[in-house]
C-alpha cells in the first residue's frame, strides 16, 4: 500500500517537474530559433533594398532572386506551430540559402547563432 502511494506521489511530482523543465527548455530554444529567423529576415530585407537602389540590374538580378527566396522561406516559417515536424529541416534550408546569399554578395556571415541554434542531444 505504501509503495503504491509513494509511486503515485512520485509520478505526479515528476510530471510537474518535467512540464516545468520542458517549458523552460522550449522557451530558451524557441527564442534562439526566433532570433536566427529574424536575423535572416532583416539581412535579406536590408540587402534587397540596397541592391534595388544599385544601377547594375543585370548583375543583381540573381542576387535579388535568391534574397526573395529566403524572404519567402522566412514568411512561410510556422511560428505558431510548436508541433511542426519539419522545423529542423526548414531551418537547415534557410541556413543553406543564407550561406548561398553570403557567397553571392561576397560577405562574411555575422550571425553568431546561425549554426548554433540546432538541437543536439
pLDDT of residue 59: 73
92 lies in a domain? Answer: yes
- Supply the pLDDT for residue 15: 85
**Residue 119 falls inside a structural domain:** no
Q: Is residue 80 part of a domain?
A: yes
| Burial tier of 85 (Cβ tally within 10 Å: 0-12, 13-18, 19+) | exposed
Is 36 within a domain? yes
Residue 116: inside a domain, yes or no?
A: no
The count of domains in the chain is 1
pLDDT of residue 112: 53
Q: Is residue 6 part of a domain?
A: yes
Residue whose C-alpha cell is 503515485 = 8
Q: Classify residue 41: in a domain, yes or no.
A: yes
Quickly list H helices, the chain: 2-53, 57-76, 87-105
Tell me, yes or no, whether 120 lies in a domain: no
Q: How far apart are CA 102 and CA 63, in angstroms?
A: 10
Ranges of the chain with pLDDT below 70: 57-58, 110-121
Q: Read off the C-alpha cell for 107.
A: 560577405
DSSP 77: S
Phi, psi dihedral angles at 35 (to 5 degrees): -65, -40
Task: Determine the pLDDT at residue 114.
Answer: 44
Name the residue range of residue 56's domain. Answer: 2-105
Amino acid at each position: 500500500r505504501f509503495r503504491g502511494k509513494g509511486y503515485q506521489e512520485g509520478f505526479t511530482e515528476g510530471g510537474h517537474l518535467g512540464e516545468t523543465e520542458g517549458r523552460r527548455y522550449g522557451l530558451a530554444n524557441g527564442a534562439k530559433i526566433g532570433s536566427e529567423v529574424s536575423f535572416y529576415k532583416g539581412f535579406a530585407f536590408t540587402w534587397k533594398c540596397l541592391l534595388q537602389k544599385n544601377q547594375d540590374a543585370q548583375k543583381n538580378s540573381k542576387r535579388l532572386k535568391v534574397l526573395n527566396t529566403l524572404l519567402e522561406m522566412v514568411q512561410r516559417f510556422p511560428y505558431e506551430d510548436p508541433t511542426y515536424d519539419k522545423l529542423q529541416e526548414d531551418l537547415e534550408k534557410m541556413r543553406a540559402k543564407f550561406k548561398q546569399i553570403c557567397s553571392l554578395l561576397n560577405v562574411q556571415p555575422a550571425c553568431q547563432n546561425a549554426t548554433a541554434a540546432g538541437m543536439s542531444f
